[in-house]
């Protein structure tokens, strides 16, 4: 709520010489102007400057004071050791020479005391609410003035100008705009969770439209404000203090029945501190209040079960509860609030969608939000939006954001959260006035302070009622004595010559008090009937019961707490409403780059010298076998392609180096390049050491427990490591495998216990084995020998055979010469000279590790194996493979061909030409792509080329 400025009171003639409050940045010229006496500076060094002030007015003439002051300045040119300015204060002196008593004080101390007094005045009188009734002075005065005017919820409306005038004239001598703005805010259902004033007319909107002038609008109290804040104000529940001119009394507090500070929240900026308290749900607030009454030792976590978080009047989504828990525990925390949205399908044919904003965060300007979205779309900072419309009306909020065809609604929505105020942070700073001092408090401390205050209110109300009941019973008892001796009373009154004599005679005759005698004299004749006597007897009995209950209530704090709980539950049953803000426990609402990046498929190309680039799958269109291919882009001098793979933007990409170190980075962090670009050096993405090369890249979507990484070195050492061992990799990398001198890590593949592995050497020797036969080791180990290599031979490639796609491998191994040689799956061999072939997997038998293996490829002179893949698990209707292979030459030329176009041959055949390498060097790397993964891109690429 907006703090109300307090005007500086005009000093009286006796107060004029006193120093006013001033800041520490006060200039010397200002000091001289504040001095109550004419001051002439001596013609000496600046060190002799003094600030002169007077505690009390001097009783000499101005001329004498002027002369004496001039002499005093010359005589008291004193200065302390640290260069502080010293104030000289005069007091009255009875000596004839007019001399005065000099009091030395340091200027910075005087400034500090005066400034602190000013700061406390702002804190207590304007900016901060009281913890007990949750109101600032201006709001308290407005509600009390309306109560005094009789503007109850059942009475007609009255002009706001009438209320503002009442407040200004009697209680709050400040600007009328400040009072009217506070009144308007208490009537806005989008500003307060439970409005305290019922408005009639234009009281503003959530679009920050200003309210109409006070002469047009009307108001009266809400029923909740009467029941919660003003119900017991006439029963001596709170102290009344004089108003600003001591002409009337105003309440220092209102007897609140609920913690209004938490119900409607508060905000204000004071001197050196501020407050920002969120609103809460009334029903939940009563529940948590009852819990604390029954169990004062309840923890904050236990209280959160009944009041899980703030409940903003504009609704929204509260992201996570860590900030809420911190705010409730310490009084300071951050709550992330998102607007509530839906995704609607506009056109089922074109599949165009729209994001519908139904609620926005608290204190967010809807019109400004829509303008901000439009600006971002126009400046190309926000993609995927085609139109924005505000269709809000009296039934509710509805902002329609139409998306372009093909746009991902979740990505656009995350961008809206990140770039606009559709997601905002409410910084809780729960500071209030407690015992005359500002204090930051947590939820439990705030509630306990209210309970203590409410106990005081109930006790004062009970004592007030008890006093009145006892006084009334005393009078009724005297009246009943008079009714019992009616003839004597009438006789005494008839014989008395005056009222005073009759009163004295009654007191003496029937032993009555003065009040009882006066009450008997005030009774009219018509009330001397027998029926009236019965009424007085019934009243006496009722008063006796009431006094007994009040005395019982005051005898125990437990009884008082039970009454507080009962009154709070009554308010809950009458005024509670469903929660508007929804709590989301999924995350803390903090958006990262991954939340606004589509999880699209991409191609990664890595060169031998460590240049990496990201491209779209449609960059390379489909070609026929035996063609030259399309270049993957420019390469550095003496550089060649090393690896080429397919992944998605959100994948964790694990980079394994030749030294056995693994690094990790998200795929989307790789800069996207065109086909002709050279790429980004890996040293700009990873913390590589000198001479370290990346030899294998593994994209990982999820670190599953049942998956492993199979590692194979150039010298034939192999091992398996659980994939979750690499879920947390520091920026400098971690050890993946221990290497013997001269060895390097070359291949890393994903596998499970049920999968199979196919390994091949440069000379074309092949070993098939179960992955479960390979030992599972830790990261900092070397592994076992995979293949017994002949002299000059090295490992060439490795691939994984999924168990789900070949469940009968043992049967095939028993019949290696079966008639199903032409059917898949196959081993696809690719040589460095661009030749390739498919060999049925049934042509190979299972063998243990550390063996020579079977011949898989019969090479010509100076040719070696470049890669081997298991293909044929993804088949078309005719039983042929629908996979594609991407070949990359040393010069960077890329050829993408269908696997089905590669002929099926025996283990000893040479193969067919896959790619002509007349001027492009040898085959550097090969990658396998499933055609179904990028079917849409294929159609587009074929249509274009």
Active site residues: 216
Residues β-bridged to residue 284: none
DSSP-derived letter for residue 903 is P
Both tokens of 250, joined, read 């105003």
Phi, psi of 196 (to 5 degrees): -100, -15
CA 3 to chain centre: 26
CA 487 to chain centre: 81
| Rounded Cα distance, 806 and 24, in Å | 84
DSSP-derived letter for residue 792 is T
Measured between alpha carbons, how far is residue 521 from residues 428, 493, 494, 508 in Å? 64, 8, 11, 14
CA 319 to chain centre: 6
Both tokens of 122, joined, read 């702002």
| Rounded Cα distance, 668 and 600, in Å | 9
- Work out whether the CA dihedral 616, 621, 627, 630 comes out positive or negative: negative
- Residue 504: its H or E element: helix 499-510
| Rounded Cα distance, 694 and 659, in Å | 9
Closest CA to 189 of 198, 180, 200: 198
Both tokens of 1, joined, read 């709520």
Contact (CB, 8 A) for 76 and 103: no
- Residue 865: its H or E element: strand 865-871
On the 0-12 / 13-18 / 19+ scale of CB atoms within 10 A, 70 is: middle
- The distance in angstroms from the start CA to the end CA of the chain is 66
On the 0-12 / 13-18 / 19+ scale of CB atoms within 10 A, 109 is: exposed
Contact (CB, 8 A) for 735 and 780: yes
Both tokens of 196, joined, read 């305290």
| Rounded Cα distance, 262 and 280, in Å | 6
Phi, psi of 428 (to 5 degrees): -75, 130
| Rounded Cα distance, 83 and 856, in Å | 96
Within 596-643, where are the H helices? none
Sheet of strand 795-801: strand arrangement:
795-801, 756-761, 765-770, 854-855
Task: Write down how long the chain is.
Answer: 945
3-state SS track over 345-384: EEECCCCEEEEEEEECCCCCCHHHHHHHHHHHHHCCCCCC
């Amino acid at each position: 709520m907006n703090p109300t400025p307090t005007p500086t009171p005009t000093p009286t003639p006796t107060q004029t010489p006193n120093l006013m409050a001033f800041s520490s940045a006060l200039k010397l010229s200002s000091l001289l102007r504040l001095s109550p006496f004419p001051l002439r500076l001596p013609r000496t060094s600046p060190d002799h400057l003094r600030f002169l002030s007077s505690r009390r007015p001097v009783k000499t003439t101005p001329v004498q004071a002027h002369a004496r002051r001039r002499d005093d300045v010359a005589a008291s040119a004193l200065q302390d050791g640290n260069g502080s300015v010293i104030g000289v204060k005069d007091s009255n002196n009875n000596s004839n020479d007019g001399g005065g008593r000099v009091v030395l004080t340091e200027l910075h101390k005087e400034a500090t005391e005066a400034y602190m007094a000013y700061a406390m005045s702002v804190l207590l009188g304007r900016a901060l609410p009281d913890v007990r009734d949750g109101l600032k002075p201006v709001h308290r005065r407005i509600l009390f003035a309306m109560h005094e005017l009789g503007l109850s919820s059942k009475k007609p409306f009255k002009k706001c100008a009438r209320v503002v005038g009442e407040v200004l004239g009697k209680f709050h001598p400040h600007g009328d705009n400040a009072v009217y703005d506070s009144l308007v805010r208490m009537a806005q259902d989008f500003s307060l969770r439970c409005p305290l004033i019922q408005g009639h007319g234009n009281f503003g909107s959530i679009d920050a439209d200003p309210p109409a002038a006070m002469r047009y609008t009307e108001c009266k109290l809400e029923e909740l404000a009467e029941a919660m804040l003003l119900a017991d104000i006439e029963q001596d529940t709170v102290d009344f203090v004089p108003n600003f001119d001591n002409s009337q009394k105003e309440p220092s507090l209102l007897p609140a029945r609920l913690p209004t500070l938490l119900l409607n929240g508060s905000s204000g900026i004071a001197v050196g501190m501020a407050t920002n308290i969120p609103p809460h749900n009334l029903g939940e607030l009563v529940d948590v209040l009852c819990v604390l009454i029954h169990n004062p030792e309840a923890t904050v976590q236990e209280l959160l079960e009944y009041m899980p978080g703030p409940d903003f009047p504009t609704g929204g989504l509260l992201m996570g509860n860590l900030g809420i828990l911190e705010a409730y525990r310490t009084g300071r925390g951050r709550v992330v609030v998102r607007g509530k949205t839906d995704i609607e399908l506009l056109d089922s044919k074109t599949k165009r969608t729209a994001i519908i904003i139904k609620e926005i965060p608290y204190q967010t300007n809807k019109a400004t939000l829509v303008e901000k979205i439009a600006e971002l779309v126009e400046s190309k900072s926000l993609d995927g939006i085609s139109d924005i419309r505000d269709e809000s009306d009296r039934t509710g909020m509805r902002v329609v954001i139409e998306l372009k065809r093909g746009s991902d609604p979740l990505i656009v929505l995350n961008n809206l959260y990140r770039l606009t105020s559709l997601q905002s942070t409410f910084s809780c700073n729960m500071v209030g006035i407690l015992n005359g001092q500002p204090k930051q408090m947590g939820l439990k401390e705030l509630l306990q302070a209210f309970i203590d205050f409410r106990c005081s209110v109930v006790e004062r109300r009970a004592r007030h009622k008890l006093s009145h009941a006892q006084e009334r019973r005393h009078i009724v008892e005297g009246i009943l004595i008079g009714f019992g001796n009616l003839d004597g009373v009438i006789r005494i009154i008839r014989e008395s010559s005056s009222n005073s004599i009759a009163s004295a005679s009654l007191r003496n005759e029937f032993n009555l008090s003065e009040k009882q005698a006066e009450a008997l004299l005030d009774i009219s004749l018509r009330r001397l009937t027998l029926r009236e006597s019965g009424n007085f007897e019934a009243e006496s009995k009722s008063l006796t019961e009431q006094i007994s209950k009040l005395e019982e209530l005051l005898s125990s704090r437990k009884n008082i707490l039970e009454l507080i709980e009962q009154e709070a539950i009554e308010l809950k049953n009458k005024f509670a409403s469903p929660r508007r803000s929804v709590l989301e426990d999924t995350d803390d609402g903090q958006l990262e780059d991954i939340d606004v990046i589509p999880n699209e498929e991409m191609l990664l190309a890595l060169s031998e010298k460590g240049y990496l680039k990201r491209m779209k799958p449609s960059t390379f269109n489909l070609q026929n076998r035996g063609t030259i291919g399309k270049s993957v882009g420019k390469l550095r001098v003496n550089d060649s392609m090393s690896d080429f793979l397919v992944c998605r933007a959100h994948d964790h990409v694990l980079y394994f180096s030749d030294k056995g170190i693994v690094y990790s980075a998200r795929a989307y962090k790789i800069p996207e390049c065109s086909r002709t670009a050279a790429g980004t050096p890996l040293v700009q993405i990873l913390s590589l050491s000198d001479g370290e090369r990346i030899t294998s890249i593994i994209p990982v979507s999820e670190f599953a427990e049942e998956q492993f990484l199979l590692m194979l070195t150039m010298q034939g050492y192999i091992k398996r490591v659980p994939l979750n061992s690499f879920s947390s990799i520091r920026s400098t990398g971690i050890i993946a495998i221990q290497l013997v001198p001269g060895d390097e890590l070359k291949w890393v593949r994903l596998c499970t216990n049920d999968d199979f592995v196919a390994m091949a050497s440069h000379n074309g020797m092949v070993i098939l084995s179960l992955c479960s036969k390979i030992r599972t080791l830790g990261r900092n180990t070397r592994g076992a020998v995979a293949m017994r290599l002949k002299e000059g031979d090295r490992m060439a490639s490795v691939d994984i055979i999924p168990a789900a796609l070949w469940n009968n491998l043992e049967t095939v191994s028993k019949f290696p010469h079966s008639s199903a040689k032409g059917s898949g799956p196959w081993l696809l061999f690719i040589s460095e000279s661009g030749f390739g072939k498919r060999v049925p997997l049934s042509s190979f038998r299972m063998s243990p590790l550390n063996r020579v293996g079977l011949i898989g490829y019969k090479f010509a002179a100076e040719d070696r194996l470049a890669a081997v893949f298991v293909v044929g698990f993804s088949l078309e209707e005719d039983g042929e493979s629908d996979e594609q292979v991407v070949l990359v030459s040393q010069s960077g030329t890329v050829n993408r061909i269908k696997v089905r176009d590669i002929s099926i041959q025996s283990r000893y055949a040479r193969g067919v030409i896959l790619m002509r390498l007349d001027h492009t060097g040898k085959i550097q790397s090969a990658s396998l792509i499933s055609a179904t993964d990028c079917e849409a891109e294929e159609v587009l690429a074929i249509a274009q080329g």
